[in-house]
Chain A
Amino acid sequence: MTGRIVTIILSVGLALGATLLATRASAIRLTGIHQGYEPVQPIAFSHRLHAGDLQVPCLYCHSGAGSSRYAGIPAVTTCMNCHRFVTTTFGAVRAEDDLARQENRKPRLLISPELQKLYDALGIDPVSGLPAPDKTPSPIAWVKVHNVPAFTYFDHRGHVTAGVPCQQCHGPVETMERVRQVETLSMGWCVNCHRQVNRTGVGGKRVNASIDCVTCHY
Chain B
Amino acid sequence: MPTQNRKRYWKSREERDGAPDPAATDREFFDTPAVTGAAYTTRRGFLTAAGFGLAGAALSSCSRAPVVQAIPYLVQPEEVTPGRPYFYASTCGGCSAGCGLIVRNRDGRPVKLEGNPDHPASRGGLCAAGQASILGLYDSQRLTAPMRDGQRASWADVDGAIRTTLDDIRTQGGAVRFLTGTVTSPTVRSLIGAFLKPFPNARHVAYDALSTSALLDACEQTHGARVLPRLRFDRAEVIVSFDADFLGTWISPVEYTVGYSAGRTLRGDPPRLSYHAQFESRMSLTGGRADWRIALAPAEIGIVIGHLAERLARMADMPLAPGALPPAPVPAARLDELADRLWRARGRSLVVCASQDTSLQVLCNAMNHAVGAYGTTIDVERPSYQRAGNDRDLEALRDELSAGGVAALFIAGVNPVYDLPDGDGLAQALRTVPLVISFADHVDETSSVARYVCPDRHFLECWSDTEAVAGVVSLTQPVIRPLGESRQLIESLAVWSGAPMSACDLVRAHWTQQIYPRRRTDAPFRDFWERAVHDGVVEVTPDAPAVRPFGEAARGVMVPEAPPLPDGDFALVLYPTVGMLDGRHAHNPWLHELPDPTTKVTWDNYASFSPEAAGRIGIADGDVVRLESSDGLTGATKVIELSAHLQPGQHDRVVAVALGYGRMGTDRFAKVGPQWIEGRTTVGTNGLIGVSAAGFRTLANGVLRDTGRLVRVTKTGRTRPLAATQSHHMIAVPAALAPAGGARRPIVEETTLAAYVKDPTAGSLGHAEPTADLWPPDHPYTGHRWAMVVDLNACTGCAACVIGCQVENNVPVVGRDEVRRHREMHWIRIDRYYADGDDGGVDVIHQPMLCQHCEHASCEVVCPVLATVHSSEGLNQQIYNRCVGTRYCANNCPYKVRRFNWFDYPREDRLQNLVLNPDVVVRSRGVMEKCSMCIQRIQNARIEAARLGQPLGPNAVETACQQSCPARAITFGDANDPESPVSQARTSPRYFRVLAELNVKPAVGYLRLVRHRPEDGGERRHG
The reply to whether B877 and A212 form a contact with Cβ atoms under 8 Å apart is yes
The CA of A179 and the CA of B280, in the complex, are separated in Å by 71
The reply to whether A157 and B74 form a contact with Cβ atoms under 8 Å apart is no
Which among A12-20, A88-96, A100-108, A134-142 touches the partner chain?
A134-142
Q: Does B156 interact with chain A (Cβ within 8 Å)?
A: no
The reply to whether A213 and B82 form a contact with Cβ atoms under 8 Å apart is no
Contact with B along A69-83 (1 / 0, CB 8 A): 110111111100000
Closest approach, in angstroms, between the C-beta of B781 and any C-beta of chain A? 12
The reply to whether A143 and B946 form a contact with Cβ atoms under 8 Å apart is no
**Contact residue among B84, B873, B875 (Cβ-Cβ distance under 8 Å from A64):** B84
The reply to whether A72 and B82 form a contact with Cβ atoms under 8 Å apart is yes
The reply to whether A157 and B944 form a contact with Cβ atoms under 8 Å apart is yes
Query: Size of chain B's interface in residues, with CB distance under 8 A?
Result: 38
Which among A1-9, A31-39, A50-58, A164-172 touches the partner chain?
A31-39
The CA of A217 and the CA of B76, in the complex, are separated in Å by 29
The reply to whether B72 and A213 form a contact with Cβ atoms under 8 Å apart is no
Contact with B along A145-158 (1 / 0, CB 8 A): 00101111101011
The reply to whether B947 and A77 form a contact with Cβ atoms under 8 Å apart is no
The reply to whether B74 and A76 form a contact with Cβ atoms under 8 Å apart is yes
Which among B31-39, B442-450, B932-940 touches the partner chain?
B932-940
Which A residues are CB-close (under 8 A) to B333?
none
Closest approach, in angstroms, between the C-beta of A153 and any C-beta of chain B? 7
Closest approach, in angstroms, between the C-beta of B852 and any C-beta of chain A? 16
Closest approach, in angstroms, between the C-beta of A158 and any C-beta of chain B? 4
The reply to whether B943 and A161 form a contact with Cβ atoms under 8 Å apart is yes
Which B residues are CB-close (under 8 A) to A72?
72, 81-83
Which A residues are CB-close (under 8 A) to B872?
210, 212
The CA of A210 and the CA of B67, in the complex, are separated in Å by 31
A74 with B72, Cβ < 8 A, contacts A31-B61, A218-B936 known: yes
The reply to whether A214 and B69 form a contact with Cβ atoms under 8 Å apart is no
The reply to whether B72 and A157 form a contact with Cβ atoms under 8 Å apart is no
The CA of A162 and the CA of B949, in the complex, are separated in Å by 10
Which B residues are CB-close (under 8 A) to A152?
881
Q: Does A186 interact with chain B (Cβ within 8 Å)?
A: no
The reply to whether B74 and A75 form a contact with Cβ atoms under 8 Å apart is yes
Q: Does A67 interact with chain B (Cβ within 8 Å)?
A: yes
**Contact residue among B82, B873, B880, B944 (Cβ-Cβ distance under 8 Å from A151):** B880
**Contact residue among A34, A74, A151 (Cβ-Cβ distance under 8 Å from B921):** A151
The reply to whether B70 and A144 form a contact with Cβ atoms under 8 Å apart is yes
Closest to A69 in B: B83
Contact with A along B585-622 (1 / 0, CB 8 A): 00000000000000000000000000000000000000
**Contact residue among B68, B875, B882, B932 (Cβ-Cβ distance under 8 Å from A147):** B68
The reply to whether A215 and B939 form a contact with Cβ atoms under 8 Å apart is yes
Which B residues are CB-close (under 8 A) to A161?
943, 946-947
**Contact residue among B67, B783, B875, B946 (Cβ-Cβ distance under 8 Å from A214):** B875
A75 with B877, Cβ < 8 A, contacts A67-B81, A143-B69, A215-B939 known: no
Which B residues are CB-close (under 8 A) to A67?
81, 84, 947
The reply to whether A64 and B919 form a contact with Cβ atoms under 8 Å apart is no
Q: Does A121 interact with chain B (Cβ within 8 Å)?
A: yes
Q: Does A112 interact with chain B (Cβ within 8 Å)?
A: no
The reply to whether B881 and A158 form a contact with Cβ atoms under 8 Å apart is no
The reply to whether B65 and A75 form a contact with Cβ atoms under 8 Å apart is no
The reply to whether B877 and A213 form a contact with Cβ atoms under 8 Å apart is yes
A218 with B932, Cβ < 8 A, contacts A72-B81, A72-B82, A143-B67 known: yes
The reply to whether B73 and A218 form a contact with Cβ atoms under 8 Å apart is no
The reply to whether B943 and A73 form a contact with Cβ atoms under 8 Å apart is no
The CA of A210 and the CA of B935, in the complex, are separated in Å by 14
Which A residues are CB-close (under 8 A) to B919?
153, 218
The reply to whether A76 and B75 form a contact with Cβ atoms under 8 Å apart is yes
The reply to whether A153 and B936 form a contact with Cβ atoms under 8 Å apart is yes
Closest approach, in angstroms, between the C-beta of B529 and any C-beta of chain A? 29
The reply to whether B871 and A213 form a contact with Cβ atoms under 8 Å apart is yes
Which A residues are CB-close (under 8 A) to B81?
63-64, 67-68, 72
A157 with B947, Cβ < 8 A, contacts A212-B877, A214-B871, A214-B939 known: yes
The reply to whether B920 and A218 form a contact with Cβ atoms under 8 Å apart is yes
Which B residues are CB-close (under 8 A) to A139?
71-74
**Contact residue among B74, B875, B879, B939 (Cβ-Cβ distance under 8 Å from A153):** B939
Closest approach, in angstroms, between the C-beta of A173 and any C-beta of chain B? 15
The reply to whether A121 and B74 form a contact with Cβ atoms under 8 Å apart is yes
Contact with A along B316-343 (1 / 0, CB 8 A): 0000000000000000000000000000
Q: Does A115 interact with chain B (Cβ within 8 Å)?
A: no
The reply to whether A75 and B935 form a contact with Cβ atoms under 8 Å apart is no
The reply to whether A32 and B65 form a contact with Cβ atoms under 8 Å apart is yes
Which A residues are CB-close (under 8 A) to B921?
150-151, 217-218
Closest to B943 in A: A158
Closest approach, in angstroms, between the C-beta of B831 and any C-beta of chain A? 26
**Contact residue among B65, B873, B920, B944 (Cβ-Cβ distance under 8 Å from A212):** B873
Closest approach, in angstroms, between the C-beta of B62 and any C-beta of chain A? 9
Closest approach, in angstroms, between the C-beta of A45 and any C-beta of chain B? 12
The CA of A155 and the CA of B869, in the complex, are separated in Å by 22
Interfacial residues of chain A within 175-216, with CB under 8 A of chain B in the complex:
208, 210, 212-215
Which B residues are CB-close (under 8 A) to A69?
83-84
The reply to whether B946 and A158 form a contact with Cβ atoms under 8 Å apart is yes
The reply to whether B879 and A155 form a contact with Cβ atoms under 8 Å apart is no
The CA of A155 and the CA of B721, in the complex, are separated in Å by 48
The CA of A147 and the CA of B65, in the complex, are separated in Å by 10
The reply to whether A142 and B70 form a contact with Cβ atoms under 8 Å apart is yes
Contact with A along B71-106 (1 / 0, CB 8 A): 111111000011110000000000000000000000
Closest approach, in angstroms, between the C-beta of B769 and any C-beta of chain A? 25
The reply to whether A75 and B947 form a contact with Cβ atoms under 8 Å apart is no
The reply to whether B72 and A68 form a contact with Cβ atoms under 8 Å apart is no
The reply to whether A214 and B935 form a contact with Cβ atoms under 8 Å apart is yes
Which A residues are CB-close (under 8 A) to B935?
214, 218
Contact with A along B867-910 (1 / 0, CB 8 A): 00101110101011110000000000000000000000000000
Which A residues are CB-close (under 8 A) to B61?
31
Which A residues are CB-close (under 8 A) to B920?
218
The CA of A67 and the CA of B947, in the complex, are separated in Å by 8
Closest to B871 in A: A212
**Contact residue among A64, A77, A162, A208 (Cβ-Cβ distance under 8 Å from B783):** A208
The CA of A34 and the CA of B61, in the complex, are separated in Å by 12
The CA of A77 and the CA of B75, in the complex, are separated in Å by 6
Which A residues are CB-close (under 8 A) to B875?
212, 214
The CA of A137 and the CA of B71, in the complex, are separated in Å by 13
The CA of A68 and the CA of B85, in the complex, are separated in Å by 9
The reply to whether B881 and A149 form a contact with Cβ atoms under 8 Å apart is yes
Which A residues are CB-close (under 8 A) to B936?
153, 218
The CA of A214 and the CA of B82, in the complex, are separated in Å by 22
The CA of A73 and the CA of B70, in the complex, are separated in Å by 7
Which A residues are CB-close (under 8 A) to B74?
75-77, 121-122, 137, 139
Closest to A212 in B: B871
The CA of A76 and the CA of B74, in the complex, are separated in Å by 5
The CA of A149 and the CA of B880, in the complex, are separated in Å by 12
The CA of A201 and the CA of B932, in the complex, are separated in Å by 29
Closest approach, in angstroms, between the C-beta of B132 and any C-beta of chain A? 23
Contact with A along B906-919 (1 / 0, CB 8 A): 00000000000001
Which A residues are CB-close (under 8 A) to B73?
75-77, 139
A-B contact pairs, 15 of them (CB 8 A): A67-B81, A77-B74, A137-B74, A140-B71, A144-B69, A147-B65, A147-B68, A149-B881, A162-B946, A208-B783, A212-B871, A212-B872, A214-B877, A214-B939, A218-B939
B-side residues, CB < 8 A to A, are: 61, 65, 67-76, 81-84, 783, 869, 871-873, 875, 877, 879-882, 919-921, 932, 935-936, 939, 943-944, 946-947
For the A-B complex with A74-B72, A217-B882 known, give 6 more contacts whose Cβ atoms are closer than 8 Å: A72-B81, A73-B71, A76-B74, A140-B71, A141-B69, A144-B69
A-side residues, CB < 8 A to B, are: 31-32, 34, 37, 39, 63-64, 66-70, 72-78, 121-122, 137, 139-144, 147, 149-153, 155, 157-158, 161-162, 208, 210, 212-215, 217-218
| 6 interchain residue pairs of minimum CB distance | A75-B76, A70-B83, A68-B83, A73-B72, A212-B871, A69-B83
